[in-house]
Amino acid sequence: MKRFVVVSLTLAGLCALCLADAPLTKRALRFRAANSDDARQWQQKAREKLFALMMGGRRPDRVPLDAQLPKREELAGTNYTLQELTFQTLPDRRVHCWLTMPKNAKRGATPAMLALHGHGGTGEKAVRGEGIYWYGKALAERGYVVIAPDIGSHELQHKDWTLMGQRTWDAMVCVDYLCSLPEVDKTRIGTAGLSLGGETVMYVAALDTRIKVAVSSGWLTRLDNMKNRHCPCWNFPGLEENFDFSDIFALVAPRALVIENGLKEKAPGGFPTELARAAFEEIQAAYKVLGVENKVTLDVHDGGHVFHGTVAMEWIERELR
CATH number assigned to the domain comprising residue 291: 3.40.50.1820
What CA–CA distance (Å, rounded) separates 263 from 274?
Answer: 9
Give the bridge partners for 301, in sequence order. Answer: 262
Does the residue 8 lie in any domain?
no
Task: Quickly state the pLDDT bin for 76 (edges 50, 70, 90).
Answer: confident
Beta carbons within 8 Å of 83's beta carbon, 6+ residues apart? 69, 71, 72, 73, 98, 99, 100, 101
What CA–CA distance (Å, rounded) separates 115 from 123?
Answer: 8
Q: Which of 96, 142, 93 is nearest to 123 (CA)?
A: 96
Does the residue 89 lie in any domain?
yes
Does the residue 11 lie in any domain?
no
pLDDT at 42 over 60: yes
pLDDT tens, residue by residue, 220-268: 999 999 999 999 999 999 999 999 999 999 999 999 999 999 999 999 9
Does the residue 3 lie in any domain?
no
Task: Quickly state the pLDDT bin for 20 (edges 50, 70, 90).
Answer: very low
pLDDT of residue 5: 34
Task: Quickly state the pLDDT bin for 32 (edges 50, 70, 90).
Answer: very high
pLDDT at 97 over 80: yes
pLDDT of residue 298: 98
Q: Which residue blocks in the chain are alpha helix, DSSP H?
A: 11-21, 36-54, 123-128, 134-141, 163-180, 196-207, 239-242, 245-250, 273-289, 310-320
Does the residue 231 lie in any domain?
yes
- Identify the residue with better confidence: 303 or 9: 303
Number of domains in the chain: 1
pLDDT of residue 74: 87
- Domain membership of residue 208 as a residue range: 27-320
Task: Quickly state the pLDDT bin for 104 (edges 50, 70, 90).
Answer: very high
Does the residue 10 lie in any domain?
no
Does the residue 309 lie in any domain?
yes
Quote the pTM value. 0.92
Contact (Cβ atoms closer than 8 angstroms) between residue 211 and residue 201: no
- ∠ CA 240-242-245 to the nearest 5 degrees? 65
pLDDT at 23 over 70: no
- ∠ CA 293-297-302 to the nearest 5 degrees? 155
When the pLDDT of each residue in the chain is averaged and rounded to a whole number, the result is 93
pLDDT at 4 over 90: no
β-pair type (256-262, 184-194): unpaired
Does the residue 203 lie in any domain?
yes
